[in-house]
Structure 1
Amino acid sequence: MPKKERKRLQVVISDEQDALLTRTAYELSSPERLISKSEVVRLAIEKIARELGEGENLEQYRAILDHEAVADEA
Protein backbone atom coordinates (compact mmCIF):
# COMPACT_ATOMS: atom_id res chain seq x y z
CA MET A 1 0.00 0.00 0.00
CA PRO A 2 1.53 3.36 -1.00
CA LYS A 3 2.29 5.84 1.73
CA LYS A 4 -0.17 8.72 1.99
CA GLU A 5 1.31 11.93 0.60
CA ARG A 6 1.37 14.81 3.05
CA LYS A 7 2.17 18.45 2.67
CA ARG A 8 4.88 19.90 4.87
CA LEU A 9 4.52 23.24 6.61
CA GLN A 10 7.23 25.03 8.50
CA VAL A 11 6.29 27.65 11.04
CA VAL A 12 8.19 29.63 13.61
CA ILE A 13 6.84 29.26 17.13
CA SER A 14 7.90 30.71 20.44
CA ASP A 15 9.53 28.72 23.23
CA GLU A 16 6.26 29.02 25.16
CA GLN A 17 4.25 27.57 22.24
CA ASP A 18 6.77 24.74 21.86
CA ALA A 19 6.42 23.97 25.56
CA LEU A 20 2.62 23.91 25.17
CA LEU A 21 2.93 21.51 22.24
CA THR A 22 5.27 19.26 24.18
CA ARG A 23 3.03 19.25 27.27
CA THR A 24 -0.09 18.56 25.19
CA ALA A 25 1.58 15.69 23.32
CA TYR A 26 2.71 14.23 26.64
CA GLU A 27 -0.78 14.51 28.15
CA LEU A 28 -2.41 12.87 25.10
CA SER A 29 0.13 10.05 25.03
CA SER A 30 -0.41 6.73 26.72
CA PRO A 31 1.92 3.84 27.54
CA GLU A 32 0.66 2.13 24.39
CA ARG A 33 1.09 5.12 22.06
CA LEU A 34 3.22 8.22 22.10
CA ILE A 35 1.67 11.27 20.44
CA SER A 36 3.96 13.58 18.48
CA LYS A 37 3.84 17.36 18.42
CA SER A 38 2.95 17.14 14.72
CA GLU A 39 -0.10 15.04 15.60
CA VAL A 40 -1.13 17.65 18.17
CA VAL A 41 -0.90 20.36 15.50
CA ARG A 42 -2.98 18.29 13.05
CA LEU A 43 -5.57 17.65 15.77
CA ALA A 44 -5.73 21.36 16.60
CA ILE A 45 -6.22 22.26 12.92
CA GLU A 46 -9.11 19.80 12.62
CA LYS A 47 -10.70 20.97 15.88
CA ILE A 48 -10.50 24.67 14.95
CA ALA A 49 -11.83 24.04 11.43
CA ARG A 50 -14.73 21.98 12.80
CA GLU A 51 -15.63 24.62 15.38
CA LEU A 52 -15.48 27.43 12.83
CA GLY A 53 -17.63 25.37 10.45
CA GLU A 54 -20.21 25.11 13.20
CA GLY A 55 -19.99 28.84 13.92
CA GLU A 56 -18.37 28.31 17.32
CA ASN A 57 -15.60 30.29 19.00
CA LEU A 58 -14.96 32.60 16.04
CA GLU A 59 -14.61 35.70 18.19
CA GLN A 60 -12.51 33.83 20.74
CA TYR A 61 -10.03 32.73 18.06
CA ARG A 62 -9.92 36.24 16.59
CA ALA A 63 -9.18 37.68 20.03
CA ILE A 64 -6.32 35.21 20.53
CA LEU A 65 -4.87 36.06 17.12
CA ASP A 66 -5.25 39.80 17.71
CA HIS A 67 -3.48 39.45 21.08
CA GLU A 68 -0.61 37.50 19.46
CA ALA A 69 -0.27 40.10 16.69
CA VAL A 70 0.07 42.86 19.29
CA ALA A 71 2.64 40.81 21.22
CA ASP A 72 4.63 40.19 18.02
CA GLU A 73 4.79 43.92 17.34
CA ALA A 74 6.24 44.67 20.79
Structure 2
Amino acid sequence: MPKKERKRLQVVISDEQDALLTRTAYELSSPERLISKSEVVRLAIEKIAREMGEGEQLDEYRAMLEDEDLRDDG
Protein backbone atom coordinates (compact mmCIF):
# COMPACT_ATOMS: atom_id res chain seq x y z
CA MET A 1 0.00 0.00 0.00
CA PRO A 2 1.46 3.39 -0.96
CA LYS A 3 2.31 5.76 1.83
CA LYS A 4 -0.10 8.64 2.41
CA GLU A 5 1.11 11.95 1.11
CA ARG A 6 1.57 14.37 3.99
CA LYS A 7 2.09 18.07 4.06
CA ARG A 8 4.80 19.51 6.23
CA LEU A 9 4.16 22.47 8.48
CA GLN A 10 6.79 24.32 10.43
CA VAL A 11 5.71 26.33 13.44
CA VAL A 12 7.61 28.17 16.10
CA ILE A 13 6.67 27.14 19.62
CA SER A 14 7.86 28.25 23.02
CA ASP A 15 9.96 26.11 25.33
CA GLU A 16 6.88 25.69 27.54
CA GLN A 17 4.79 24.46 24.59
CA ASP A 18 7.55 22.06 23.58
CA ALA A 19 7.65 20.72 27.13
CA LEU A 20 3.86 20.23 27.03
CA LEU A 21 4.17 18.33 23.75
CA THR A 22 6.94 16.15 25.13
CA ARG A 23 5.02 15.40 28.34
CA THR A 24 1.82 14.62 26.42
CA ALA A 25 3.64 12.29 24.02
CA TYR A 26 5.26 10.54 26.97
CA GLU A 27 1.94 10.13 28.79
CA LEU A 28 0.18 8.79 25.67
CA SER A 29 3.00 6.34 24.96
CA SER A 30 2.98 2.78 26.17
CA PRO A 31 5.70 0.13 26.39
CA GLU A 32 4.33 -1.27 23.12
CA ARG A 33 4.17 2.02 21.24
CA LEU A 34 5.97 5.33 21.55
CA ILE A 35 3.96 8.37 20.51
CA SER A 36 5.79 11.21 18.77
CA LYS A 37 5.23 14.91 19.30
CA SER A 38 4.05 15.11 15.68
CA GLU A 39 1.37 12.53 16.43
CA VAL A 40 0.25 14.58 19.42
CA VAL A 41 -0.08 17.65 17.19
CA ARG A 42 -2.10 15.69 14.61
CA LEU A 43 -4.35 14.33 17.36
CA ALA A 44 -4.89 17.83 18.74
CA ILE A 45 -5.82 19.14 15.29
CA GLU A 46 -8.39 16.39 14.84
CA LYS A 47 -9.80 16.91 18.33
CA ILE A 48 -10.17 20.67 17.89
CA ALA A 49 -11.75 20.26 14.44
CA ARG A 50 -14.22 17.69 15.80
CA GLU A 51 -15.17 19.94 18.71
CA MET A 52 -15.58 22.92 16.40
CA GLY A 53 -17.84 20.86 14.16
CA GLU A 54 -19.98 20.08 17.18
CA GLY A 55 -20.00 23.76 18.20
CA GLU A 56 -18.17 23.08 21.45
CA GLN A 57 -15.64 25.30 23.16
CA LEU A 58 -15.32 27.87 20.36
CA ASP A 59 -15.22 30.77 22.80
CA GLU A 60 -12.62 28.97 24.89
CA TYR A 61 -10.40 28.39 21.84
CA ARG A 62 -10.80 32.00 20.74
CA ALA A 63 -9.80 33.19 24.21
CA MET A 64 -6.74 30.94 24.14
CA LEU A 65 -5.73 32.37 20.77
CA GLU A 66 -5.99 35.88 22.22
CA ASP A 67 -3.32 34.86 24.72
CA GLU A 68 0.01 36.35 23.71
CA ASP A 69 1.79 33.00 24.04
CA LEU A 70 -0.29 31.42 21.25
CA ARG A 71 -0.32 34.22 18.70
CA ASP A 72 1.82 34.22 15.58
CA ASP A 73 4.62 36.75 15.58
CA GLY A 74 4.41 37.34 11.86
Q: Which has the higher contact order (CA 8 A, sep 6+)?
A: 2
Equivalence for 2:15 = 15
Name whichever of 60-69 and 47-56 sits farther off: 60-69
Question: What's the TM-score, normalizing by structure 1?
Answer: 0.91
CA, structure 1 residues 70+34, in 2 after alignment: closer, same or farther (shift >3 Å)?
closer
Q: Deviations over 1:1-46 (max 9, x none)?
A: 2111100000000000000000000000000000000000000000
1:28 aligns with 2:28: yes
Calculate percent identity across the aligned residue pairs. Answer: 85
Which one has a larger percent helix, Structure 1 or Structure 2? 1
| Structure 1 alignment gaps of length 5 or more | none
Question: What's the TM-score, normalizing by structure 2?
Answer: 0.91
| Structure 2 alignment gaps of length 5 or more | none
The count of residues paired between Structure 1 and Structure 2 equals 73
